[in-house]
Structure 1
Amino acid sequence: MNYFEIAIQKKARTLKDEINFNKAQSFFIKKEWDSTLVYSMKQLNSNADAEVKEYCHYFRGYSLREKELYKQASIEFGLIKKSFQYYYLVDNSIGLLFYYEKKFENAIAHYLMAENEILNHKDENEIATLYENIGICYLHLNQYTRAESYFKKDAILNPKRVTQGVVRSNINIANFYYEQYKDQKAIYYFEKAYSLSKNIKDFKLKENTAYNLAVVEENRKNYKKALTYRKESEDWKDSLNNQNKIWAVADFEKKFAVAQKQKQIKVLEVENKLKDNQRNSLFFAAIGLLLILTGGVYMYGQKVKNAKTILLQKNKLDELNATKDQLFSIVSHDLRSSVNALKTSNAKLSATLETKNYDELHQLIIQNSTIANGAYSLLDNLLHWAMLQTKQLYFHKESIHLYSIVQQIEYNYKPLLLDKAITFENSVSKNIFIFVDLDSLKIVLRNLLDNAIKFSNENGKISFYTQESNPDFCDLIIKDNGIGMSENTIKELLQEGELLAKKSNSEIIGTGLGLQLCKQMIRKNSGTLVIESEQNKGTKMILTFPKTIV
């Protein structure tokens, strides 16, 4: 924890009554940016004093920057006055925003304004990061002498053990030499950074070092090695994206194992009760005939009670087994198709690699990525569906700013939208807050946007907008101009009897599980779903959610 995080914790303790500020700073320290944005906005909407507002604008600017919403981050930082106690952190952040915009001279100016205060706090990691950023800016400006000076300062602060800073320092020095066409020295530091990255757990740095060596080998025209490094770089990128999902699966398996142990304990408790009752029966039998009769009646009642308990446990176990069998059926049917497609594509990939047909090789790599993403989406939906069916999914309803969430979903799907040249329009009212569970709302919007992209043509258009037909509810409409669907298909999708719905378009692989998951989560959020569509004219998904009660 750095000195600023310690400072905002102290500030929060003096403002115990400001619940939204306390939550905002807590989520800021935990790096949960969405929740930070929600609660800092709630605090700004309340009657907060000027200093608290400065903190909230900084929380929001920093969070938006981390979410790569740079324009919105710049607006938030611009609302902070220079009299703010920690304005040097604002300068440092604005410098980083200018760096992202490739306005390196502006970035350096703000970094230098923040330098004295950062040096005063004697945080070596923060100082090293500052020197690294200034050095990179000078490198982009081809001012090599100044760049070298700051890279050396950064290197001096590096610890003897292998850390992320050490690896980045070697990458920066390599780029410094590479820009000056001193390839041999540059390659030495690229290879050193790659070797050192084996000892750290930062997937992003591992991806970067492997990618750098791929570029080096391509320039050497050693395409076989270059392809190997590029594959390793992509593997680290996939590992970074999948890490959170792996943790979720591990947590689910852990909870399931605990539940199984609890069932075993309950069975043992029932057995012990039966044994105790039997011993009590023998004891009362020695007293007399009347006590024996009384004991027999008592035993009969206990057996009936135990039998009911066992029957309830059996029914619950049968239900869980049915759910498990259904999941296995989906996995065996749908994943087999994806894996078989991936296997066939990989065989073509190997053959194409031998012929060095790079255009076809590029298309096959894109095809593999599409198949893998489809299988990943299926597994993601299966995980949430299973957690929902087994009542493991946690729901916490709160006031959500709908426009911001749609903006986040658009950002997540930007690559897919660009790939099909689809225009995305976010016309959601900025004044609407709905009362739902945030995580389940994101799952619903991701699935529906994914379907809209999948069933849209090249150069299509997808729109998100709201309408208010009821003062207590909000209608969110997701509209596309894609291939649409028939009335029979709509009825089939909205049926509750079956888990999976068949799609009439056989060229697009799908299970219908995503829409079934959406329907259940919408229902749990007290919402409704209506589908309007015509073939070859597009589709409207109309979601209705309760508004936040002011």
Structure 2
Amino acid sequence: MSKLKVNFNILIYLFSIFLYSQTPSTKYSFNEVLNKKAIEFKEETNFNKAQFFFINKKWDSTLVYSMKQLSSSNNKELVNYCHYLRGNSFRQLKLFQEAKKELNLVSKSFAFYPLVNKHLGETLLELREFEKAIYHFKEIEKIPRKNIIDYKISIIYQNLGICYLHLNQFIEAEEYLFKSLKIQETDGDIIHLIGIYNDIANLYYTQYKDKQAIIYFEKAYDLSKKTTDFDVKRKASLNMSVVEENKSEFKKALAYRKESAQWKDSLNNQNKVWALADYEKKFAVAQKQKQIKVLEIENELKNAQRNTLFFSAIGLLLILTGGVYLYAQKVKNGKIILRQKNKLDELNATKDQLFSIVSHDLRSSVNALKTSNSKLSATLETKNYDELNHLIIQNSSIANGTYSLLDNLLHWALLQTKQLYFHKESIHLHSVIQQIEYNYKPLLLEKSITFENSVSKNIFLFVDLDSLKIVFRNLLDNAIKFSNENGQITFSANEIDSDFCQVIIQDTGIGMNENTIKELLYEGELLAKKGNSEIIGTGLGLQLCKQMIKKNSGTFEIESELNKGTKMILTFPKTK
């Protein structure tokens, strides 16, 4: 196939402004930063006007006020911004030599210098200074991809390919064009894809590889059917007509020529329609402005009549609002005082209960420990080892009970003062119960109590681990305390539904009556006396359990009968 003479027009994609950050910490586009600089340097009138016109794409006005700013100020930061604005404005006006001069005046310390490289590369490409353009595009390519924000690296690859194509360095051109194609096929931007297909086709035609080139011209043409851009459609059909002429398919070539002409006519008609619409819009705006002026005069007359009545109404409204506000504040203050009084009463009641616990239980525990130690000393002298062993076990039990009481007091106080840290996570229930069993093994062995963990190993709860352990420790401690020797304690679980799971702690102890259950479940009840008069509990541990279960979005129930044991039923959310 002979070489097709193609009008060698390489597509160069020029974008307005995209952020291209030097550091990952910069997360704002150039225009956003420019707005912030205008606020920061609000006293610099010329700079503010230049940035306003630049954002609104008024390039001539941008050039005027940026030059005034450069003439009136030596601030290095603003000088860089002004040269950058001028370079972009000249580029938009197709004055590429002037754009090149201005962009070269921007210091490399400029926060958006990668954008300077981008625009310099595109400007030099327009000026056909391809090797210099490659240098600036390569500088951008060095920046890590993760630092590119709101900018398409595929366009840099495409422009590098175009530069190498103009320099007849076909291997490099092919490498970059296909790198760009890979990214653009993922992005799915039709206009850009058509452009890269045409660039690759031109690459192959330049090397007389007509068969490969035709494939990409056809791809560009097929894809152009999906766009509404008449100019893109015109160029795609024109390229296909040249392809068919090269293949001596003159009928097809003529059809493509006619199609290209139709798209050209459509484009011209569209431009005429837009121009007419713009004229009609301007005429309508002018008519509307005249009507607005007439209405403004009428409104001024009406406003003069309304002002007196309006301000009188405002005065009355302010007086009424002030009265309502003062009354509302009085009521609000009264409610606040009442709430504070109730809270203070609650705190005083809690303080009294805590003092009762500390003065009674701690005093009793310490006194029991003191008495037991005296007996221990006497037993050491008589060398009665059986009694000695019994007293040591008794001392250990008293110490453990006292430690548990102090631990509960600490956690209860932290909970009341909202200092206890809660972090919900996925917890393996079976493992937590195994750990609790291990901690209480000596107490279980002391009373010959059988412990059974029948919880499934597939259950995971979404709770705070530390508070869950406190709940289980307290309930197991109570179960041991109120169980007879050779008793049994069982931990089991029942999955209610996909969201919640029941944890059941059952013992064969002394149980309790209905009144005791109500007393324990009553909110705020600290002291509780069991049916066995020799075993007195503060109820603090159970109160702590109830509050921690509630904070874990759970529920708590008790089922019990005297001398038939007790069943504690806890409900917790499962891990989803």
TM-score range, shorter chain: 0.3 to 0.5
TM-score normalised per structure 2: 0.41
Q: Which has the higher contact order (CA 8 A, sep 6+)?
A: 2
Instruction: Look at both structures and tell me which one has the larger radius of gyration over its CA atoms.
Output: 2
